[in-house]
Structure 1
C-alpha cells in the first residue's frame, strides 16, 4: 500500500473511460478458461484446513495467465490468498465460495463491478486498473486495506462504516469522484483520493482518526473542512489544487499534530509571505513542501504571530474607547 513520502509522483494512468487498443484486442481474444492443471500449478503454502483434520494449499497465484474464466476456483474452498491480477476477468463470483479468504488481488482486469458476497475474514482487497463504476459489493467486516484506484467510480455512497467498520486504508485515486460527502468510515487512518474532480472536502471531519490524507490534483478551492479538529492528522498532501486565498491557510490551525504539509502548485503559494503565514498557524510541522522547517523559522513565525495578536488587541481597545 501507499507510503507518505513527499516526493513527486508520476502522472497516474488514465481511468480507463476510453478503451485502449490493447483493451479492444483483449475483447477479441478467445475465452481462456482456468483448468484444473493450471490451478494446481498455482497452489502453494500448505496449511491445516479449517477443521484441523487435514491439510490444504491456501495460496493461489494466477496473475498474468490471460484468464477470462475462473469458475473452477469455486471448488478450492480452502484458499485464503488469491492473486488473479493482469488477466481478462469480468466476473469474480466464483470466489464467493471461498469463505476463508484473507486477501484478494484482482488488479488489471476487465471488471465493471465487484459483485462479491460479504467475506467474514477478508482483510486485504485490491481492484485497481479495472472498469468498475460503483463501490457496491463491498461489505466485509474485517477488511483493513482496499485499493480501488484507476477505475470509473463517481460515487462513494457504498463506502460506509456499517459495511467496512475495520477499514484503515483506502486508495481511490484516478476515478471520477466529485464529492466525498457520503464517505463515512470513521476507522480510516490513510485516505488517498488524488486525481479526481473533488471541489471540496465536506464530510472529511467524520474521519477524525485520519493520519495521512492525500487529495493531490483535484479542484479544491477552500479549506473550511479543517475548521473541525482532526487531531490525529500528521500528513496532508493538497498539491495541484485551486487554493488561491491566503486566508485559507488559517483554517489549518486546528491540525495540531500535522508534521508534513504539501501544498505546492496552488495559486496561494505565489502570495508574498506564504511560507511564514503557514508556519504561524502550524507550529507542529517539520516539512513544508520539499523543504524542512528550521527551528529559527518557527521562532520567527511565533514572534510574528505574537506581534500580530498584540496589534489586534490594541486595535480592539482603541475601537472600544472610540465607542465610549
Structure 2
C-alpha cells in the first residue's frame, strides 16, 4: 500500500516554481555567455584620458547570433565596434558609446535609421549598415562621417543627404538598392559615389557633385548619359558597364567631361557590339587614358586627333561658305 509522504503531491505552485527556477538558470547561463562573448571580443587597450586609467576600445561581436545588444551599453569607451552578421534591429543601446569612430552593422535586421542614436556619435567617421532592411535614409545623420556604406538594402529614393549635415563625407556606397535616379545628392565634398546594381534610368542632380572623382554606375538601366554636366569638373573615373546604351548619340554628354575624365568603362553595353566605339569615344574625349581595361595606344590617340582636325576643318569650310 502507498505510504503517505514518500511521494510529494502534485501542485501547480511547485510546477511554477520549478519552471521559474529553470528559466532563471537559462537566463543566467545566457547572461554569462554574453559576458564571456563580450570579454572575448575586446581588444586594443588604450588610455581613457583620466591619468593612468585604461580601457579596451575595440569590440568584435560579428557572427554571434545576437538579437539585442543591451549588454554592451556600459562599454562607453569603445571606438571600433563590429556587430556584423547578427539579428539586431535596435541600435539604441549604443547611445552611451559617444566615443565611437567606426561602426559596422552589416547583415542584421535594421529596418529604419529613424529613432536610432546616430546623432549621439559626433565623432563617428566610418559607418556601414549594408545588407539590412532599410527602405529610406530618414534619421541618418553624420556630421563627422567620411565613409558611409548602405549597400544591399531596399532604398528607393535619396533625400536629406545635404552638405550641411554631411560636410565631411567623401565616400558613399549605395550598391544593390532600388534607386531609379541619381537625384538627391547635395554633397559638394563627395569624392567617390558607388551606385552599381540599382535600377537607375536617369542621371539627375549631378551638378552638385563638384569634387566627385569616381562615379560607379555599373549594371543599371541607362540608355543615355544625358545628365552629366560641366560642374563635375573633378570626375576622373566613370563606370557605366552593363547598361543599355546602344547609340553613339547617347554618349554626347561625355564632351562635358573633357577636362577631367581619364578612365571610361563602357563594356557590356549594346553600343559595344554595334559600333567601333573606341575611336568615337576618343573623338569626344581625346584626353582619356583608358577605355575599359585597355590603355589608349599612341596610334589610337593620333588617329583621334586627326579625325578631330578634319572635323574642324570641314566645319570651318561649311561656315565660310
TM-score band (shorter)?
A: 0.7 to 0.9
Indicate how the Cα distance of structure 1 residues 298 and 97 shifts in structure 2: closer, same or farther if over 3 A, else same. Answer: same
Rounded Cα–Cα distance in structure 1 between residues aligned with 2:48 and 2:320:
77
C-alpha displacement at 1:316, in angstroms? 2.1
1:66 has 2:65 as partner: yes
Query: Secondary structure of 2:228's match?
Result: helix
Question: 8 Å contact 2:209–2:231 — kept in the other structure?
Answer: no
Match of 1:275 in 2: 278
Match of 1:194 in 2: 196
User: Any unmatched runs of 5+ in structure 2?
Assistant: 1-26
Rounded Cα–Cα distance in structure 1 between residues aligned with 2:309 and 2:256:
17
Question: 8 Å contact 2:145–2:168 — kept in the other structure?
Answer: yes
Alignment of 1:88-99 (within 5 A): 88-99=87-98
Q: Normalization by structure 1: what TM-score?
A: 0.84
Alignment of 1:237-256 (within 5 A): 237-255=239-257, 256=259
Query: Secondary structure of 2:310's match?
Result: helix
Higher-Rg member (1/2) = 2
Question: 8 Å contact 2:180–2:198 — kept in the other structure?
Answer: yes
Deviations 1:182-226 (A, max 9, x none): 121111101000111111111112111111110111111222222
Rounded Cα–Cα distance in structure 2 between residues aligned with 1:140 and 1:86:
23
Match of 1:120 in 2: 122
Query: Secondary structure of 1:276's match?
Result: helix
Q: Normalization by structure 2: what TM-score?
A: 0.85
C-alpha displacement at 1:53, in angstroms? 5.1
Question: 8 Å contact 1:50–1:78 — kept in the other structure?
Answer: no
C-alpha displacement at 1:267, in angstroms? 2.2
Q: CA RMSD in A?
A: 1.7
Rounded Cα–Cα distance in structure 1 between residues aligned with 2:43 and 2:190:
32
Rounded Cα–Cα distance in structure 2 between residues aligned with 1:80 and 1:312:
63
Query: Secondary structure of 1:278's match?
Result: helix
Deviations 1:89-125 (A, max 9, x none): 1111111211000000111111112323311100001
Rounded Cα–Cα distance in structure 1 between residues aligned with 2:243 and 2:207:
19
Query: Secondary structure of 1:225's match?
Result: coil
Rounded Cα–Cα distance in structure 2 between residues aligned with 1:215 and 1:230:
15
Question: 8 Å contact 1:148–1:173 — kept in the other structure?
Answer: yes
Rounded Cα–Cα distance in structure 2 between residues aligned with 1:41 and 1:249:
55
Query: Secondary structure of 1:201's match?
Result: coil
User: Any unmatched runs of 5+ in structure 1?
Assistant: 1-29, 319-324
C-alpha displacement at 1:36, in angstroms? 2.4
Alignment of 1:175-324 (within 5 A): 175-255=177-257, 256-318=259-321
Alignment length (residue pairs): 288
Question: 8 Å contact 2:197–2:220 — kept in the other structure?
Answer: yes
Higher relative contact order (CA 8 A, sep 6+): 1
